[in-house]
Amino acid sequence: MERLSATDLAALPMRVAVGQMSELTDEQLAFAVQVGVSDIQLNTPNLPGDARWEFEDLKALRQRAESAGLRLITLENVPIRFYDKIMTGQEGREIQLEDMIATVRNIGRAGIPILGYHFMPNGVWRTSFETRVRGGAVSNEFRYEKVKDAPLTHGREISAEQMWSNYDWYLERILPVCEEAGVHLALHPDDPPVPTLGGIARLFCNFDGFKRALETHNSPMHGLDFCNGCWSEMLGGEGVLDAIEYFGSRGRILYVHLRDVHGCADDFEECFIDEGQSDVKAVVRKLREVGFNGFILDDHVPRLVNDTPYGHRGRAYAIGYIRGLLDATG
Ligand SMILES: [Mn+2]
């Protein structure tokens, strides 16, 4: 398969992908083929390199997907250590920027068209990974109350103003490289989307943050990894439709994490895709209505009886459900 151009991407239909694993094992490739998808996403792929990814490794990864008849369409997240100084505005960020520029160029040259990213120096937080949901399936939860006095993760507080300054510094420099390299940047919400955790302000915890990011760094190569779970936490079940309307009709939704929760940003638990507070059928209909033609991924799922650490059973359930939604609304 040749490198996908922007035009080729636009010609693909809305579809389901398998992803969120860090390695392309034979088993993972077989699973993707078995559940009937043609696109693969990897999250923080386990590649050599302490500071950057190399062309040959990226190319080999894409070819490995293609050997199973699959398209490696997205890498979500480089390791935080690749750009932690950039995010926190520390000394040494220039060196990290040079390495990130090299990584983006290598991703483009390897023919991988989308790079998902986030701007959370202290990552994703949950207060339990043993939350029991329907029938005893194992999920997770976040209760802000339990972490509101958590110690500083970086030894100091970083304000929203400073985080915006760090973000703008980075995007001003990396986005032109993405444009040149043919790599789309897809922004994931802060997870959980609360204003601050461990002393670090979280920029992407409300509608205005995303609007500001995409307006300030305005390019067809810059859009969203629309995480329905996080948006549902931010705006509630109805609000996700407004967000899809706004960003989707502007062509800024690059791909979708379709999961859901019960609750809101500072107090929620993740649940099965069919029982959340948003109407996922309406979500898919809205995505069609705004002309979204990227891929949809299950993201996180509750683990079922005898499930694997990756959650093959829970994922197969969600992926089949999403495929059914696409068929039913097509
Ligand atoms: Mn997500």
What are 265-276's pLDDT values in tens digits?
Answer: 999 999 999 999
Q: Is the pLDDT of residue 198 over 90?
A: yes
CA of 194 from ligand 1 middle (Å) equals 15
CA of 299 from ligand 1 middle (Å) equals 6
Strands 267-271 and 260-264: antiparallel
CA of 97 from ligand 1 middle (Å) equals 25
- Ion ligand 1: protein residues whose beta carbon lies under 5 Å: 227, 257, 299
What are 22-70's pLDDT values in tens digits?
Answer: 999 999 999 999 999 999 999 999 999 999 999 999 999 999 999 999 9
CA of 175 from ligand 1 middle (Å) equals 22
pLDDT-derived band of residue 239, with 50, 70 and 90 as boundaries? Answer: very high
Q: Is the pLDDT of residue 4 over 60?
A: yes
Whole-number average pLDDT of the chain: 97
Number of folded domains in the chain? 1
Asked whether residue 1 is assigned to any structural domain, the reply reads no
CA of 279 from ligand 1 middle (Å) equals 17
pLDDT at position 10: 84
What CATH number is associated with residue 316? Answer: 3.20.20.150
CA of 225 from ligand 1 middle (Å) equals 8
pLDDT at position 3: 63
What is the distance between the alpha carbons of residues 258 and 152, in angstroms, rounded to a whole number? 32
pLDDT at position 163: 98
What are 251-263's pLDDT values in tens digits?
Answer: 999 999 999 999 9
Domain containing 125 equals 6-329
CA of 162 from ligand 1 middle (Å) equals 25
Q: Which amino acid is at 85?
A: K
pLDDT at position 2: 55
> Which residue's structure tokens are 């609750």?
263
CA of 298 from ligand 1 middle (Å) equals 9
Averaged pLDDT, 72-93: 98
Q: Is the pLDDT of residue 84 over 50?
A: yes
Averaged pLDDT, 7-35: 94
CA of 223 from ligand 1 middle (Å) equals 14
Q: Is the pLDDT of residue 1 over 50?
A: no
- Reported pTM: 0.97
Q: Is the pLDDT of residue 286 over 60?
A: yes
CA of 230 from ligand 1 middle (Å) equals 7
pLDDT at position 8: 82
2 vs 34, higher pLDDT = 34
What percent of the chain lies above the pLDDT cut of 70? Answer: 98
